[in-house]
Amino acid sequence: MEPSVLCPATVPSVERKFHVLVGVTGSVAALKLPLLVSKLLEIPGMWKHRSDPVLHIDLRRWADLMLVAPLDANTLGKVASGICDNLLTCVIRAWDRSKPLLFCPAMNTAMWEHPLTAQQVGQLKSFGYMEIPCVSKKLVCGDQGPGAMAEVETIVDKVREMFFQHASVQQS
């Protein structure tokens, strides 16, 4: 079973805290996790304490938004097929689809360009999940092309946008 990590974080909103659950898969882009989390914590009011993981149902109830960054090819295939063999895939499978789930694909260009990948990304979108598209650049493996996880600032901007949408709904 691949390693996966869930990092709960909390941002206060007008009436209650806004919770962001970050899922991390085995992609080499996971190297960006410390930078991503530190940038997310810079969002004004972001809670700086992370709790120990709890059961997948408790996590899905706790979170207002789920971010899977990076989403590697293996986990993409699992989620698209309904496989839930670790805590991350169980949370995604149990996810309340009325809440946003953002995913950031990250994989080798050859994997990204495989026909199954487009089908699997389409499957996740059909569930109502939102893709933050990968980018084209020189990958860690030396290949040049699409498949790199979106830039950290792009991801943080999307989470910030979702947070402010949530805050404005809470004020209404």
Q: Give the three-state DSSP class for 38.
A: helix
* pLDDT for 53: 47
Catalytic residue among 84, 90, 104, 141: 141
**Count helices and strands in the chain by DSSP H and E runs:** 7, 7
Q: Is 90 a catalytic residue?
A: no
Give the residue, 36 or 123, on which the prediction is more confident.
Answer: 123
Strand order in the sheet with 17-24: 5-12, 17-24, 65-71, 101-105, 130-131
Least confident of 19-23, 85-89, 117-121, 133-137: 19-23
Number of domains in the chain: 1
Please state whether 25 falls in left (phi above 0), alpha (psi between -120 and 50) or beta. Answer: beta
What does the pLDDT look like over 125-166, one tens digit per residue? Answer: 999 999 999 999 999 889 999 999 999 999 999 999 998 888
| pLDDT tier, 14 (very low <50, low <70, confident <90, very high otherwise) | very low
Please state whether 16 falls in left (phi above 0), alpha (psi between -120 and 50) or beta. Answer: beta
* pLDDT for 59: 84
* pLDDT for 1: 41
Q: Under a CB-based contact definition with an 8 Å cutoff, are residues 121 and 131 in contact?
A: yes
**H-helix or E-strand spanning residue 135:** strand 135-138
Q: Under a CB-based contact definition with an 8 Å cutoff, are residues 120 and 166 in contact?
A: no
Domain with residue 142: its CATH number is 3.40.50.1950
Q: What is the mean pLDDT of the chain?
A: 86
Give the residue, 10 or 67, on which the prediction is more confident.
Answer: 67
* pLDDT for 98: 95
What does the pLDDT look like over 92-130, one tens digit per residue? Answer: 999 999 999 999 999 999 999 999 999 999 999 999 999
* pLDDT for 46: 62
| Domain of 10, in residue numbers | 5-171
Residues listed for the chain: 172
| pLDDT tier, 16 (very low <50, low <70, confident <90, very high otherwise) | low
